Chain A
Amino acid sequence: MVGKDSLGIRSFRFLTGSLLIIWLVLPLIPLAIWSFAKGWFFPDLLPTHWSMRAWEYAFSDTSGVIDSLWLTIGISLAATVLSILIGVPAGRALGLYNFRGKQLVELMILAPIIVPGIAVVLGIHSVFISFGLNNTVSGVILVHLIPTLPYMILVMSGVFSNYDPAYEAQARTLGASPLKTFWYVTLPSIMPGIIVGGLFAFLVSWSQYVLTLLIGGGRVVTLPLLLFNFATSGRNDITGAIGMIYILPGIIILLFTARHLSGRNGAVGSFGQI
């Protein structure tokens, strides 16, 4: 197939590919330069003085960047694990079975993607007060599930709509208990979906700002909150350094999932199932 593409199609692909890369990478370049600059003023094309000051500060104890990094990783991992625990059975129900009110449930699951988080977070805030969840890490993890769950459930329902539960019946008659059936038969079949959905969930949680700010009450300082503080205080060099740290997981995950996303096992191929 590769050799058959006409020159026009190939150059079009090259053009769009290059545009995409420029569009994604270009904004990062000033960020990277800023993180090594010691003053960078108009109309200089490049900073006149270079420095590691911003990076030293970012990795120092006083900045809180490292603490915040670990906190953010912890919150995102917890939100991901909870999303998987809820998303797998929910995706199974939606992908495999028909039940009364299924379309309504599907709509409710999509709702958090359609309705902006800020519109509902105030209501959640007052509910969380009665549970003592405001200003706590647990509260932030729970509120992150609102945007992460739709992605997880959509991916898993796509996976399950291509899944044959007869494999489980087969395992049972061969002597596998329900638990072993899940471990040896179900889990390996849906693993690509769990990985892709889990990575989505992680990234969505990783990039939450408004929900974290309002439910965390400023006490749960995740990386995006910290980044915003420095950005608004005009410390472009430190913002650059933290920004570079902040985008790292995204890049790692992108490289890691390239294989899964390429459709070899189609975990995302059925993403638009609902």
Chain B
Amino acid sequence: MTHVSIQSLTKVYPGAREPALDKLSLEIESGELTAILGPSGCGKTTAMKMIAGLLAPTSGDVTFDGRSVLADKPEHRGVVMVFQNYLLFPYMSVADNIGFGLKMRKAPKPEIERRVADMLELVKLPDLGQRRPSELSGGQQQRVALARALIVQPKVLLLDEPLSNLDAHLRIEMRDLIRSLQQQMGITTIFVTHDQEEAVVLADKVALILDGTMKQFDRPEEFYKRPVDEATARFFGGRNFVQGQLKNGVFESGLGKLAVSEQSTVGNGEGAGTLTFRPENVHLATDHSQPNTLPANLVKQIYLGTQTRLQLSIGSHEIEAICNPNEVEGLINEQEILVTIPADAVWLLPS
């Protein structure tokens, strides 16, 4: 169990004008699974390498349980990194790959064999120890890479895009495996990903990095409910942003007048602001019995199988809604409908 603290971690590559990573600060509790999320090239792999000791930071600090580890060599840091392409040593058997870390720690041979067998059991590959990595499928290779990392019981486990090379059903399987092993062993884990879904399903907390700076560090649901700005909201699939004026709990904009609950305006005074609401929180209505019900013109429907995406025109604004396909059956384009946007489902972006 290791508490990881990252303080103003910055990396400027030689010759580069912009920092690859700018003042990243994170507090990661013992045993927590944290995602560093951002588009490719945002500096997240740079951050991982600095935590692992493979890259020296330009400034800032990394501490484990309060002690700076920057002077520790990677082999003494107690951090194992699992790379995106697994990097199994091709000329070693699966068992030798998994036992590699113990061999480097000069563990006795019988102990290595016993723990490798345990590990193979744990990742559900009990009979594949003597195979070569090239004889395994992608998902199996991923498990071997995970086993090879976990066998040394690292203080901190780093995962680089752990699910992105897997197909859909393997992702779910692997996600559950990573989650259960990580909780079972209580290893503080940090993973990087460009896929917000991957971050949301796997992580206790998510750090979103855009353009080299951290936007928000929060529990996953906060990114949907209370994003810090428009870019953050957009990264998590936010589509609806409306500019207007807040006065006495009512937001006036091109949509008309919308009541806004108190929790939705935390940290904002009255005046000009941007209101956002998730497409899935825009509901179809049959009458004006609910507050915040607005007349809308149905511009376009996009059928997505389990849901239907509606493009609506309200007042001078285009907004998006996501509905259950059953709800919208029979609706035709250009039809006038009613939609409700609940007062507690909107969020005024902090200015």
Q: Which of A166, A173, A189 contacts B74 (CB 8 A)?
A: A173
Q: Are B75 and A185 in contact (CB under 8 A)?
A: no
- Known contacts A174-B100, A174-B149, A175-B152, A189 near B87 by CB under 8 Å: no
Q: A185-B89, A188-B91 are in contact. Are A170 and B83 (CB under 8 A)?
A: yes
Interface string of A171-192 (1 = CB under 8 A from B): 1111111001000110011000
Task: Enumerate chain B residues within 8 angstroms of A184, measured Cβ to Cβ.
Answer: 89, 100, 104
Q: A164 vs B90: C-alpha distance in the bound complex, in angstroms? A: 12
Given A167-B89, A185-B89, CB of A174 within 8 Å of CB of B148 = yes
Smallest beta-carbon distance A104→chain B, Å: 20
Task: Specify which chain B residues have a CB less than 8 angstroms from the CB of A164 in the assembled complex.
Answer: 87
Range class of the A interface residue count: 10 to 19
Task: Check if B105 sits within 8 Å of A173, measured CB to CB.
Answer: no
Contact assessment for A177 and B89 in the assembled complex, using a CB-CB cutoff below 8 Å = no
Which of chain B's residues have a CB closer than 8 A to the CB of A177? Answer: 73, 75, 104
| A169 CB within 8 Å of chain B | yes
Instruction: Please name all residues of chain B whose beta carbon is closer than 8 Å to the beta carbon of A180 when the two chains form the complex.
Output: 104
Whether A176 lies near B81 (C-beta < 8 A) is no
CA gap between A166 and B55 in the complex, in Å: 12
B238 at the interface (CB under 8 A from A): no
Contacts of A169 in B (CB 8 A): 49, 52, 54, 74, 81, 83
Rounded to whole angstroms, the CA-CA distance of A131 and B74 in the bound complex is 44
Select the residue from A172, A185, A188 with max chain B CB neighbours within 10 A.
A172
Q: Does B80 contact A (CB under 8 A)?
A: yes
For the complex, give the distance between the alpha carbons of A167 and B87 in Å: 6
Q: Are B87 and A174 in contact (CB under 8 A)?
A: no
* Given A169-B81, A175-B152, 7 further pairs, Cβ under 8 A: A166-B87, A169-B54, A169-B83, A172-B53, A175-B75, A177-B73, A189-B90
27 contacts between A and B (CB under 8 A): A166-B83, A169-B49, A169-B52, A169-B74, A170-B83, A171-B100, A172-B53, A172-B75, A173-B75, A173-B77, A173-B80, A174-B75, A174-B104, A174-B148, A175-B75, A175-B76, A175-B101, A175-B104, A175-B105, A175-B152, A176-B104, A177-B75, A180-B104, A184-B100, A185-B89, A188-B89, A189-B91
Please report A residues at the B interface, Cβ cutoff 8 Å: 164, 166-167, 169-177, 180, 184-185, 188-189
